[in-house]
Structure 1
Amino acid sequence: MRNSPIGIFDSGVGGLTIYEEIHKLLPHENIIYLADSKNAPYGEKSKEEIIDISVKNTEFLLSKGCKLIVVACNTASTNAVKYLRDHYAVPFIRVQPAIKPAALNSKTKVVGILATKGTLKSELLFETSQRFAQGVEVVEQVGEGLVSLIESGKMHSLEMTNLLRKHIVPMLQKNIDHLVLGCTHYPFLTDQIKEIVGDQVTILDSGEAIARQTKVILEQENLLNLDIGEISRVFYTNKDTLVMQQILDEFDEGFKALKTNF
């Protein structure tokens, strides 16, 4: 099992931001990535739909022999991980918005979170805010339309710029000093967001924390790959490969996006 791959799935290409952090920390691990772009975005779906989709993604990765699965999607993490852990034997790593560090380090005691509707209405986010953000105002904003633009190859469009300003400026007017990116697609937009928020707002995502947690669980389960030979990394998408390939080309490691009919 040590040589078996880590599986990662997301509602599209957003989880590649998580893949990048995992590969950086665990360069000797084999990885299989599944972009479920066909069903993106998850944020508008019901909890039952999200669980059903997550089960199908899990079954796909398990059919490829994955030893651990990273649910690299905030919406799926908050709505489906408990079900997955109850029904499958492999370890699952979930993504959790970085509310805790934002609240602990806020000077203005006002922090913003930009996320999908599915994440913002989840029990997990509510419990996290109740536990770690007492005395801090959490300004929530649905990032409506952002995932769809990224998945359609319009990441750097004027439409994206205008939409980001529409979502973020009202949070700035409420004096946030930390902005939590509560969707794994959103770190692709960090540079554009910085142009809007300036130097006075700290932007947080959960990529590094997820990579560290993945390493911890692999160590606890004796699943770390000790073979430093040739490493396999495979990237699947169930939609057109163009957007994923553009992102993989930016990684500059010669990877190819593979189409699956899953």
Structure 2
Amino acid sequence: MNSQPIAVFDSGLGGLTVLRALRERLPQEDFFYFADTRYLPYGDRPEAFLRERGVLIAEALVRHGAKALVVACNTATAAAAEAIRAAVDLPIVALEPGVKPAVTQSRTGVIGVLATTRTLHSERFQRLVGNHAQQHRVVAQACPGLAEAIETDGPDSAAVEQLLDTFVAPVAEAGADVVVLGCTHYPWVAAAIARRLPAGVALLDTGEAVARQLERLLAAGNLLGGGSGQLRLATSGAPQAVGVTVDRLLGKKMHVEHWEP
């Protein structure tokens, strides 16, 4: 079991930021990254569809030989995490916006959250805020189209810059001193977000926390190690197009295979 890969899935390639943190912390693990780009963007999909799709992918990854699963997508977590946990018997780490750590860091009592519309409207996000941030003002800013623009046009594109101008301004004007990057795509544009915020505002990315939690779960199940640092990349969409984006984001060429759960 130890030699089997860890599966990581996202709607697209934002989860590569999480994968980067996972591989840095767990270099002796093998990883299988699946980008469900056939159905990108998840943020505009109905919750019922995302729940069914999440379970289908998770079950297929179990059959594919995964020893653990990372849901590297805040939107998929919001819609499908409970259903996935009920459907498969694997160590599972699912992303959610870092509201709880943001509360501990904030001095002004104002927290910004940048995320997809689906994530912010989910019952899971509302519960997260209710459980941990009742005494704080949470400025939840939906960013429709941003994740897709990062993938399609690139993090440094004019399209992304225009969207950031629109989405970051309300958070800055509200006086947030901690801003949660509530989508795995957003760390790719963290520097551009920071430029639009007052000096001293902290950006919170949950990639490292996810890596620590996965390490704990693997250790508890005696599943640590057994790999050699190998990485396979797959997509439900067009491998060549995804490969171009991977090359742009990672700065190196990687083979991408087609895989349909």
Q: Same fold (TM over 0.5)?
A: yes
Matching residue within 220, 230, 233 for 1:232:
230
Output the amino acid matched with 2:148.
Answer: S
The SS at the match of 1:167 is: helix
| TM-score, normalised by the number of residues in structure 2 | 0.93
Q: What count of residue pairs does the alignment treat as equivalent?
A: 260
Query: Percent identity between the aligned chains?
Result: 34
Structure 1 residue 60 corresponds to structure 2 residue 66: no
**Gapped regions of structure 1 (runs ≥ 5):** none
- For 2:226 and 2:201, locate their aligned partners in 1 and report how far apart those are by CA, in whole Å: 41
Q: What is the match of residue 247 of structure 1?
A: 246
Q: What is the match of residue 145 of structure 1?
A: 145
- 194-203 or 209-218: bigger deviation: 194-203
| TM-score, normalised by the number of residues in structure 1 | 0.93
Q: What is the match of residue 154 of structure 1?
A: 154
- For 1:119 and 1:77, locate their aligned partners in 2 and report how far apart those are by CA, in whole Å: 8
Equivalent pair of 1:71/1:95 in contact (CA under 8 Å): yes
Give the drift of 1:253.
6.5
Q: What is the match of residue 186 of structure 1?
A: 186
- For 2:157 and 2:252, locate their aligned partners in 1 and report how far apart those are by CA, in whole Å: 26
- For 2:177 and 2:190, locate their aligned partners in 1 and report how far apart those are by CA, in whole Å: 15
**Gapped regions of structure 2 (runs ≥ 5):** none
The SS at the match of 1:147 is: helix
- For 1:110 and 1:176, locate their aligned partners in 2 and report how far apart those are by CA, in whole Å: 5
- For 2:243 and 2:142, locate their aligned partners in 1 and report how far apart those are by CA, in whole Å: 24
Let me know the Cα RMSD of the aligned residues.
1.8
- For 2:5 and 2:99, locate their aligned partners in 1 and report how far apart those are by CA, in whole Å: 30
Q: 1:175 to 1:198 in 2, by over 3 A?
A: closer
- For 1:54 and 1:87, locate their aligned partners in 2 and report how far apart those are by CA, in whole Å: 10
Q: 1:164 to 1:252 in 2, by over 3 A?
A: closer
Deviations 1:223-250 (A, max 9, x none): 11245xx432100122233344443565
Q: 1:202 to 1:66 in 2, by over 3 A?
A: same
Q: What is the match of residue 127 of structure 1?
A: 127
Give the drift of 1:128.
1.6
Give the drift of 1:121.
1.4
